[in-house]
Amino acid sequence: MPFSLFPAEIALWDVIKNLRPVPLAIIGILIFFSLFSWTIVLSKSGVFSRARGRNKKFLQAFRKSKNLQTIAAVTEQFNSAPLVAIFEFGYREIERQISQRGALVNKPAVERSLQLGISEEVAKLEMNMPWLATVASVSPFIGLFGTVWGIIDAFESLSTAGSASLRAVGPGIAEALYTTAIGLAAAIPAYIFYNIFTSRIKELGTRMEDFAIEFQNAAERDFGG
């Protein structure tokens, strides 16, 4: 007969419906963290997918255009693409110099404007990323707290039981193991997607830096300086 740590009748539902207030609160917090992190994951996945697609279309149009004025007239067609925002930062600085001095005379100012645009777009992409990191780092410790609490409760039950049987301590240990499992279930996906999204942000950031160089080359070609 195979050995079992818990009595056969201790099933998941039995544990859940008999949870004490502290383990119930811990499991509730962990479930909330898990749902919250998955909401961020789904939202960020859409953000990165749209950014890649719109960047690609805008970059194709940018490289086919005759000059910066041509592409500036159609940027609305590529609304929300990160590269469009960077383009507009740089082009506004060029327009300011042209209107005030009649020529592009301060190329470092254009470069600084492009870098400001890159910083703003990267900040948008990084939005809510700290929450994923928080869920990934905190959830295991919350689960561990539930584990410790469950074990303490199990030993208290053992001390008051008439006999030292697994039936007396099984529910408390089960609660402890469930909180550990739920904590890991919340933390592991958050950690995985945090790393995936961090990689995508770096990739998009590199693409923005490359585009800034292309923009400056186009500005020198069209406006001299």
Q: What is the pLDDT of residues 190-215, one digit of tens each?
A: 999 999 999 999 999 999 999 999 99
Give the span between the Cα atoms of 72 and 147, in whole angstroms: 59
pLDDT at 20: 73
Element (H, E) at 223: helix 166-223
DSSP letter assigned to residue 20:
-
pLDDT band at 136 (very low <50, low <70, confident <90, very high): very high
Question: Is 33:186 a contact under the CB 8 Å cutoff?
Answer: yes
DSSP letter assigned to residue 73:
T
Considering the entire predicted model, what is its pTM?
0.82
Give the span between the Cα atoms of 223 and 185, in whole angstroms: 56
Burial, 35: exposed, middle or buried (Cβ in 10 Å; 0-12, 13-18, 19+)?
Answer: exposed
Give the span between the Cα atoms of 126 and 136, in whole angstroms: 16
Identify the residue whose tokens are 């292309």: 214
Burial, 52: exposed, middle or buried (Cβ in 10 Å; 0-12, 13-18, 19+)?
Answer: middle
pLDDT at 169: 62
Write out 2-18 in H/E/C secondary structure: CCCCCCCCCCHHHHHHC
φ and ψ of 204, to 5 deg: -65, -35
DSSP letter assigned to residue 103:
S
Mean pLDDT of 103-124: 93
Lowest pLDDT segment from 62-76, 125-139, 150-164, 174-188 = 150-164
Give the span between the Cα atoms of 209 and 202, in whole angstroms: 10
Q: Average pLDDT of the chain?
A: 85
pLDDT at 151: 80
Identify the residue whose tokens are 């910066």: 68
